[in-house]
Structures are given as structure tokens and as C-alpha cells.
Structure 1
């Protein structure tokens, strides 16, 4: 399974949008869903009305998601997220079970394939835990 973007789950509060703008400031962020891929020149206040934001940066594509159907309680998901080390940076990632639910709900062929692969990973992890 390969991925070519980074998905971030973030409530679109003005404070979070301010942090996002600071984080991508040096990465030449551009709006990926515009024809001309125009530079991101929106304020945190303007971004706070968004539901999702799709960016192209010098490091690759960044999808910032305000919700994650079928998950309704984003705060609970974030509380239950697992910590991982990614290149020396500690980040929270969705629990495998939640990611499987999300991929199952998407319904697209590529998500169904990913769901199958994630279920296989979950089975291997479950078997490894058994004595």
C-alpha cells in the first residue's frame, strides 16, 4: 500500500488554522483544487470556515480534513490516537480499527483495496499478540 499525501485531521478553529499557517509558511503552500494552483494567501479567520483544505507544498500534498466520516466524535478519536515516531517527530495517528472503518465507509475501489490490506495487517497484529 503506497500513499502520496499526508492526511491531517484538524478541527478548523481559528487557533488551529493559525498554527497550520505557521507550519506550512516556508513550504510554498498552494491550493491544489484551484486551476492555477494559486498560493495559499488566506487568513486563519478565513480558513476557519472551511471543512477541508487541500494543499500542494514543497514536501508534497497535504490534505487537512475537518471531519472523517463515519467518525462522528473527532475529539474522541484524537484522544484515542496512538503516538508514533515519524522521522524523529512524534505524531498521533488513527488507531488501526478507526482507519479500517473510515476506508470501509469511503466506498471507492482504491479505499476498498486499502481496507482489505489494513484488515490483513490487523489480523497479523492480532495473531502476534496471542500466546
Structure 2
């Protein structure tokens, strides 16, 4: 099971610039679906990559689904040469996106975020409308199922005059 509180605390304490997307963002907006990993879009500056690598290094990041023993070095060079990483850590699963389908990079998504307090810290979450766009662009069956629930949440908020997160 993924320890969201510990992963988010590690990222925040290291000063990593990231936006929470995916299932964790859906739950923050009121969805009932459980998610097994933390999905984030991270800023791809040299400084931020350094902070990201340092934040996760103590938790033995390894490519999720890769055979045991496959050589993998978690360092700045690896992150710079890659873009998106599905990792398993001692704190659980985390997916790191340098870019996400339908949303682009951290800088592209920044205008579509909201700050929320979670686990004693503040994190950026993608707004509900943008999350729906991201899920639609991904097009996976599980995303399409989630869209229906997210659209109902959006519609309900509109009926009661709530500002959309």
C-alpha cells in the first residue's frame, strides 16, 4: 500500500515542485475510487530534478514491473535522460511525469491547479475540469469510468454554486 502522507512529506520537505494528478487528485475532488499509486507531474529544471532525486533516494526507487536485478540507477542523469517513470519505492508506488498526455508539462499545467492542505502540508492539485481532460486524453477504460464520476461531481458543484477546486 502506498504511503501518500510519507511520499508527499518527502517531496514537500525537499522543495520539489510538482502537481498531483491521477487518482489522488480525483479523490481530493471527491471521487470515491481508490488508487494504488501517486501520480505527479514534476518541473524539469536542473534544480528540481536534483531535489526530486534527493527526496526519493532514501526510499530505494526502482522501475515498477521491472524484473528484480535489472540495473537501474536513480540519479539526476537518469531523470534528465528519461521523462516519465513508474516507480516502486519502500513507501509505495509513484508515477513521475515530465509531461502528461492532454496536459503537457508542469509549466503548462500550473495555471490549472489549486493549492490544498494535505497531511500537514500544502500541495498543488490539478483542477477538476483539467483532471477530466487528462483522464479523457489517457483514454484507458479505468479513466473513462472515473470521468463519469468526476463529471457528476462537477455538475453537482455547479448546481449548488460551489467554486470548483
Q: TM class by shorter-chain length? A: 0.7 to 0.9
Does the alignment pair 1:84 with 2:116?
yes
Alpha-carbon contact 2:132-2:151 (below 8 Å) kept: yes
Q: How big is the shift at 1:37?
A: 6.6
2:147 aligns with 115
Residues in 2 aligned to 1:21 and 1:128: alpha-carbon distance in whole angstroms:
43
1:98 maps to which of 101, 105, 130? 130
1:126 aligns with 158
Q: How big is the shift at 1:19?
A: 0.8
Moved more, 42-51 or 85-94: 42-51
2:79 maps to which of 42, 47, 53? 47
Q: How big is the shift at 1:85?
A: 1.2
Pick 1 or 2: higher relative contact order, CA cutoff 8 A, min separation 6.
2
With the length of structure 2 as denominator, give the TM-score of the two structures. Answer: 0.70
1:25 maps to which of 53, 57, 63? 57
1:63 aligns with 95
Alpha-carbon contact 2:61-2:87 (below 8 Å) kept: yes
Alpha-carbon contact 1:10-1:65 (below 8 Å) kept: yes
Number of corresponding residues = 130
Does the alignment pair 1:15 with 2:47?
yes
Residues in 2 aligned to 1:100 and 1:3: alpha-carbon distance in whole angstroms:
16
Q: How big is the shift at 1:110?
A: 0.5
Residues in 1 aligned to 2:161 and 2:69: alpha-carbon distance in whole angstroms:
47
Q: How big is the shift at 1:41?
A: 2.5
| Alignment RMSD | 2.0
Decide whether aligned partners of structure 1 residues 83 and 31 sit closer, same or farther in structure 2, where only a CA change above 3 A counts.
Answer: same
Deviation digits for residues 65-104 of structure 1 (CA, Å, limit 9, x no counterpart): 1111112464142133100111112100001001000111
Q: Unpaired segments of 5 or more residues in structure 2?
A: 1-32
Deviation digits for residues 26-53 of structure 1 (CA, Å, limit 9, x no counterpart): 2222221421175852321231121201
